[in-house]
Amino acid sequence: MESSNILHDQPLEFEFNFSSRLYRASTIMDERMGDGWLLYAPDFKGLPILLDDFSHDILNRFNHGAVAGEVLSASVSEAASSFDRTLDTISFLEEHGFLRNQPTKSSYADSAYTSPISSMSIWLHINSDCNLACPYCFVESKQHQVMGDEVQNRVAKAIAHTVREHSLTEVNLKLAGGEPTMDVALMECIRDKVGAELKNLDIRFMTSVLSNGTLVSDRLLDFLKHPMTSIGISVDGFREAHDIHRKFRGSGHGSWSIIEKNIQKLLENQIRPHIMTTTGKETLHTLPELLEWIFELGLSTRVSVVRNPNCSWDYTPLEKATYTAYCDQLEECFERALSRLENSSVPFDLANSLAVCELSFEYPAFSGVTCGIGRNHVVITTAGDVASCPMTVHEGGQPMIDNLLSSCKAAFPYSPMDRASLKGEEDCLECQWYPVCVGGCPVTNLRVNKIPFSKSPFCQFYKYFIPRYIRFLGKKLLQQQPVLS
């Protein structure tokens, strides 16, 4: 996040061309906020910023295109500001995508995965055992299935092979299940094997544990204190709402009180868990309280929504009206949550506190997908097959080969270049917010629309939430760093 209060103290990162003709980007969101202006470019890297009146006036001088040097001269001659301040302002606006060297097009286009891949995420389904009995879980079999030694060895060697072949600089190993913390020894073994294969490579190697948070042993704490290791804890709602579905297998007791204590235990050991929130029709009403609780603990979260309103993973088609009603509920509950979080007493890290669904606010997703499916998010089952997504592990997958990125593409052989508009529906590429959502989750779209790259059934909610969240970020930014007049 940046404010115009400090933009003139920043060194320029490129040579200024006085003869260049620049245009105000037509894609930006531009609204009055407090004593300044809130700006956001959905098709350019960066989060929303606040501008003062002078900087906003300079931006508007390029509404129909203008030569930078002429705007600079006019501003100085009108005694609107100094040469240096005007020059810095124009440079800042161009550097942040609000000014472009050509008019912005009326329609976006996918780049079909043409951008280079520098990182890889490996989601390992290391076991199927779980001590909870969540009815919506995508791991349908809770029988004792564990990733064996032979598969572990193949996975470790394939990761190293893929890093070398594609000159990757970062690998994030995600240990999931089932409940992976039921077998910390297995987690240690897998991390050690992958680490040994990557030892002599120039690579940033991270390990994440995806857990229900009910089992925090001393051995797990030692595991998490290893460098570049983190844990994510799944929650469904606040207190009693969480316990609606996340009950212990056998006893049927809720798990909230246990995970609340375990989160405190982690914090006492200087381990800050990331909260993985999944909310649906039965738990949405507690979202405001849940988010406030998370942020008051100084933690971060990604809020995902149950994709199928009836909490089923089958292919039973749902009527459009069902999703419309669901989106209405999402809008109402997220509005209450954001309104509550706008209170200046609620701590909020502008860049890291909150992510929602697959929406990408800081980095436009011109590859056509925000999650890496079919590209660099590799999902490996206990049997060593490569699935398209964690939601599809129960459907099997493709045989794993040494080049995991090739396996990833084979597991989801669709391309955003085949994006299709649904009959009678708006084309996603014509929407201002397309770079943020790129049509939503391809797996959900495939199940609902039979076309992976198409309009999301959650489009209504996204069109509400994206501009609303930008305004929310602006208000929190204003609280932390007011714009000077």
DSSP string of 186-209, one letter each residue: HHHHHHHHHHHHHTTS--EEEEEE
Distance of CA 223 to the CA centre of its chain: 26
The list of the chain residues with pLDDT below 70 reads: 1-15, 80, 110-114, 140-143, 310-318, 482-485
* pLDDT of amino acid 313: 47
Give span(s): CATH 3.20.20.70, the chain: 119-411
Three-state DSSP at 290 gives helix
Question: Which helix (DSSP H) or strand (DSSP E) does residue 83 occupy?
Answer: helix 83-95
**Is 119-411 a CATH 3.20.20.70 domain?**
yes
Sheet-wide strand order for 66-67: 66-67, 21-24, 99-100
Contact indicator for 124, 190 with CB cutoff of 8 Å: yes
Query: In whole angstroms, how far apart are CA 277 and each of 40, 280, 303?
Result: 26, 10, 5
Residue 92 sits at φ, ψ, to 5 deg, of: -60, -45
d(CA 457, CA 455): 7
CATH of domain 4-106: 3.90.930.70
d(CA 314, CA 297): 37
Question: Which helix (DSSP H) or strand (DSSP E) does residue 356 occupy?
Answer: strand 354-356
| 351, two tokens | 């860049």
d(CA 101, CA 16): 12
Q: How many CB atoms lie within 10 A of CB 300?
A: 19
* pLDDT of amino acid 255: 96
What is the DSSP pairing of strand 170-176 with strand 119-125?
A: parallel
DSSP state of 67: E
Does this model's pTM top 0.75? My answer is yes
Query: In whole angstroms, how far apart are CA 429 and each of 110, 416, 455?
Result: 8, 11, 10
d(CA 431, CA 299): 33
d(CA 428, CA 446): 16
Query: In whole angstroms, how far apart are CA 190 and each of 19, 118, 161, 170?
Result: 58, 23, 16, 17
Distance of CA 16 to the CA centre of its chain: 34
In sequence order, the β-bridge partners of residue 230 are 208
d(CA 435, CA 223): 38
Give span(s): CATH 3.90.930.70, the chain: 4-106
The 3-state secondary structure of 9-31, one letter per residue: CCCCCCCCCCCCEEEECCCCEEE
Task: State the burial class of residue 321 (Cβ atoms within 10 Å of its Cβ: 0-12, 13-18, 19+).
Answer: exposed
341 Cβ contact list (under 8 Å, min separation 6): 288, 291, 292, 295, 348, 472, 476
Three-state DSSP at 33 gives strand
Kindly give the interhelix angle for 404-411 and 149-166, rounded to the nearest 10 degrees: 100
Contact indicator for 193, 225 with CB cutoff of 8 Å: no
Distance of CA 47 to the CA centre of its chain: 13
